[in-house]
């Protein structure tokens, strides 16, 4: 059994929280409450030891990570490196591997922020306001025309929308790539994540993928909530024919 144990912001203080797969139980609201507690404690500089199989949580929350397999420590290091080792161990021999899709460390997040019109970082935005993102990643190795597949994911883990962008050139290891701009926001009120799959295609190895959790944010508003997105529609009811009067 492969299990990562992740330490969040280890400090010389008296507060230590040990959490074992807490996000694997309960409903979405309970899971979100747990995430709120984690972020609050992290901002306060407290120590949290998190045991989880969720690599997105490891990469978004943790400062250091440990990989345990069959009762032994296999790796201790950066969250991205540990997450890659975990995914490789778990996806070896899977259908994805048979389709020549493998997990690899392609990039590291240097900076990721959701901003207001003035460029100041925010965590909440109103319904209809565009998602203004400012993201910088660093190539972990040489990349040739890397693809960035973005997913907006809701609190239930559903991919609500997505888009792909390609850097049409090669980059050396250590090169930094900025992805900034506005994303149309038709999301209903709720909590969301912005994830990015960094994809590298190579003739000899096939598709090499890496998942990054970039942002966590809240959309607020008073509009009625139906479904997962608020679509505009040019559809109006028109009476086409009156019923015939009874003779």
The predicted-structure confidence for 37-48, as pLDDT tens digits, reads as follows 777 877 787 888
What the block records as the tokens of 190 is 């709720």
pLDDT in tens, 114-134: 999 999 999 899 999 999 999
Instruction: Indicate the length of the chain as a whole number.
Output: 247
Say whether 41 sits in a helix, a strand or coil.
helix
CATH of 101-223, one of 3.40.190.10, 3.40.718.10, 3.40.50.1820, 2.70.50.60: 2.70.50.60
* Residue 96: pLDDT band with limits 50, 70, 90: very low
Average pLDDT, integer, range 136-140: 95
Radius of gyration, alpha carbons of the chain? 22
Percent of the chain with pLDDT over 70: 81
Numbered ranges of CATH 2.70.50.60 in the chain: 101-223
Average pLDDT, integer, range 192-206: 85
Judge whether 175 and 139 are in contact, CB under 8 Å.
Answer: yes
Judge whether 67 and 82 are in contact, CB under 8 Å.
Answer: yes
**Residue 65: strand pairing partners:** 6, 77
Q: Could you give the CA distance from residue 9 to residue 16 in angstroms, rounded to a whole number?
A: 10
Task: Please give the residue that has the higher pLDDT: either 148 or 11.
Answer: 148
Superfamily of domain 1-92: P-loop containing nucleotide triphosphate hydrolases (3.40.50.300)
**What pLDDT score does 247 carry?**
65
Lowest mean pLDDT among 43-47, 198-202, 207-211, 226-230: 43-47
Backbone angles phi, psi at 42, to 5 degrees: -65, -45
**What pLDDT score does 60 carry?**
72
Cα separation values, 166 from 44, 80, 112, 197, Å = 38, 22, 18, 12
Of 102, 59, 107, whose CA–CA distance to 83 is shortest?
A: 59
Average pLDDT, integer, range 171-195: 94
Residue with tokens 């994303």: 183
Task: Please give the residue that has the higher pLDDT: either 138 or 15.
Answer: 138
Numbered ranges of CATH 3.40.50.300 in the chain: 1-92
What the block records as the tokens of 92 is 């070896």
Q: Could you give the CA distance from residue 179 to residue 215 in angstroms, rounded to a whole number?
A: 13
**How wide is the angle at C-alpha 152 spanned by C-alphas 149 and 158, nearest 5°?**
110
**DSSP code per residue over 72-133:** EEEEEE-HHHHHHHHHHHHHTTSHHHHTTEEE---EEEEEEEEE-TTS-EESEEETT--EEE
Judge whether 119 and 182 are in contact, CB under 8 Å.
Answer: no
Helices within the chain (DSSP H only): 28-43, 55-61, 79-91, 95-98
Average pLDDT, integer, range 220-226: 81
């Amino acid at each position: 059994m492969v299990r990562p144990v992740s330490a969040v912001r280890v400090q010389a203080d008296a507060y230590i929280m040990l959490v074992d797969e807490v996000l694997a139980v309960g409903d979405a609201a309970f899971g979100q409450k747990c995430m709120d507690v984690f972020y609050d404690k992290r901002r306060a500089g407290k120590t949290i030891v998190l045991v989880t199989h969720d690599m997105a949580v490891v990469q978004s929350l943790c400062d250091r990570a440990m990989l345990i397999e069959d009762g032994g420590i296999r790796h201790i290091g950066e969250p991205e490196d540990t997450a890659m080792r975990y995914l490789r161990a778990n996806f070896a021999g899977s259908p994805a591997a048979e389709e020549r899709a493998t997990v690899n460390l392609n990039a590291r997040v240097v900076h990721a922020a959701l901003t207001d019109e003035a460029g100041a970082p925010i965590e909440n935005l109103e319904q209809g306001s565009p998602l203004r993102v400012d993201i910088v990643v660093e190539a972990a190795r040489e990349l040739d025309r890397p693809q960035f597949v973005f997913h907006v994911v809701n609190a239930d883990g559903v991919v609500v929308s997505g888009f792909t962008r390609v850097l049409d050139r090669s980059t050396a290891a250590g090169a930094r790539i900025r992805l900034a701009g506005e994303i149309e926001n038709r999301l209903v009120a709720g909590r969301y994540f912005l994830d990015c799959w960094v994809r590298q295609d190579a003739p000899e190895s096939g598709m090499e993928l890496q998942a990054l959790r970039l942002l966590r944010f809240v959309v607020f508003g008073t509009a009625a909530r139906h479904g997962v997105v608020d679509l505009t529609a040019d559809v109006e009811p028109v009476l086409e024919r009156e019923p015939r009067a009874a003779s």
